[in-house]
Amino acid sequence: MKFSIVITTYNRLHLLKRAIDSALRQTIPCEVVVADDCSLDGTQEYLNYCREKFFESGNSRFVYHRNEVNSGHAATVNAGVLKSTGDWIKFLDDDDYLAPNCLEEMARAIALHPQAAIVSCIAAQINEQEVELSRTPQLGTGLAFYTPQADIHYGMLLELLPFGTPVQVACRRDVFLQTGGWNSQLDTNCDDIDSWINIAKFGDAIFINHCLAYRTVWQGACNQKFSLSRRLNTNLVMKEKIYALVDEKHRDHIPALKDIENYLKLHWLIVALKQKNFQSINSILFSSIPAVFSWQAWHLLFNALLNRQNFGSTQIQKYVLIK
């Protein structure tokens, strides 16, 4: 089993160096592919220097790709994967980094369940000074478990199986290519989630209850450039897509799509209120009025909060791989 770490970058050389260092420090051998979306801050010169150093030492595990024109995040991910040669792709944005044993732990879990198509782990949220702010929640029991393909979309719909951001996720390269890669029309606004939805059609999912990734929360993050109302609208599209893919065995257990839509509107309205983002409140409030008075929406909201703490669904099968 060979891993390729695909790092996407654009004008963040000071952070990119940390991401590359974390990839090169992995405790098992891997290929490192850096896909550059036409950076203008010295990234090209630095990466050419790195490539030459590896070439001179006879080491071919460092690959540098630079887009011909600025193409956006999703297209750059796709280009990086095409340049890779691994069986599995580990995604990594330039402002995030990995624990040294990230690939080793993922490889160990995959070896125990080769039917998997996608793997996720816990991530620590850090600030620009690398101070930990929080961690994504543990899911279920054991150090690692897998969920059958038939249960994945149901779990995603009800937020029982959050795969998380790219720094948390790896997937089979052949499956990624079969899905057509990331959707450039979304481009950093749920383009990763859209990909996880598609990949989950082709195999089981593994979740590792160990912190193997570090995600930087800062003003320069890509998701900060989108308004809350735009993020809500994309969330609605994602839920509708997941809803259509839920396996027949779960059809009697899922809420109506309209109730899920109201739950999302309620959720993002609360986010806007907490942030005191008055522009977003104004744009979301009118469409959210039915949600505020929807018992089903509040029920789904409270269930989501409980599920994040208890992983509370008997409808999803969880098979422990590593205790």
CATH label of the domain that carries residue 110: 3.90.550.10
Q: Per-residue confidence of the chain (323 residues) as pLDDT tens digits?
A: 999 999 999 999 999 999 999 999 999 999 999 999 999 999 999 999 999 988 887 777 999 999 999 999 999 999 999 999 999 999 999 999 999 999 999 999 999 999 999 999 999 999 988 999 999 988 877 899 999 999 999 999 998 899 999 999 999 999 999 999 999 998 777 899 999 999 999 999 999 999 999 999 967 665 556 688 888 889 999 999 999 999 999 999 899 999 999 999 888 888 888 887 877 777 787 778 888 888 898 988 888 777 665 554 556 888 999 98
* Among 192, 224, 256, residue at a domain's last position: 224
Q: What is the pLDDT of residue 196?
A: 98
- Of the chain, the end-to-end C-alpha distance in Å amounts to 23
Q: Is residue 163 part of a domain?
A: yes
Q: What is the pLDDT of residue 310?
A: 57
Q: Is residue 42 part of a domain?
A: yes
Same domain for 143 and 246 = no
| Enclosing domain of residue 286 | 228-313
Write down how long the chain is: 323
Residues 263, 271: Cα–Cα separation, whole Å: 12
Q: What is the pLDDT of residue 304?
A: 78
b/e burial code for range 222-239 (CB count within 10 A of at least 16 → b)? eeeeeebbebbbbbbebb
Same domain for 281 and 145 = no
Pairing of strands 116-126, 204-216: parallel
The Cα-based distances of 179 to 89, 185, 197, 277, 279 in angstroms read 14, 15, 10, 37, 37
For residue 23, give every residue at least 6 positions away whose Cβ sits within 8 Å of its Cβ, in sequence order, or none. 5, 7, 30, 32, 92, 98
* Among 186, 207, 224, residue at a domain's last position: 224
Burial of 130 from C-beta contacts in 10 A (0-12 / 13-18 / 19+):
exposed
Same domain for 205 and 240 = no
Q: Is residue 323 part of a domain?
A: no
Same domain for 103 and 207 = yes
Q: What is the pLDDT of residue 166?
A: 97
Residue recorded with tokens 């994602």: 238
Angle between helices 149-157 and 228-245 (to 10 degrees): 150
Q: Is residue 109 part of a domain?
A: yes
Count the Cβ atoms, other than its own, within 10 Å of residue 185.
10
Domain count, the chain: 2
Same domain for 205 and 97 = yes
For residue 81, give every residue at least 6 positions away whose Cβ sits within 8 Å of its Cβ, in sequence order, or none. 4, 6, 33, 89, 173, 176, 177, 181
Residues 13, 62: Cα–Cα separation, whole Å: 17
Pairing of strands 169-172, 88-93: antiparallel
Residue recorded with tokens 């977003």: 280
Single-letter amino acid code for the residue at 82: L
Q: 3-state class of 133 per DSSP?
A: strand
Angle between helices 228-245 and 278-292 (to 10 degrees): 40
Same domain for 277 and 187 = no
For residue 228, give every residue at least 6 positions away whose Cβ sits within 8 Å of its Cβ, in sequence order, or none. 268, 271, 272, 275, 277, 280, 283, 284
Same domain for 232 and 216 = no
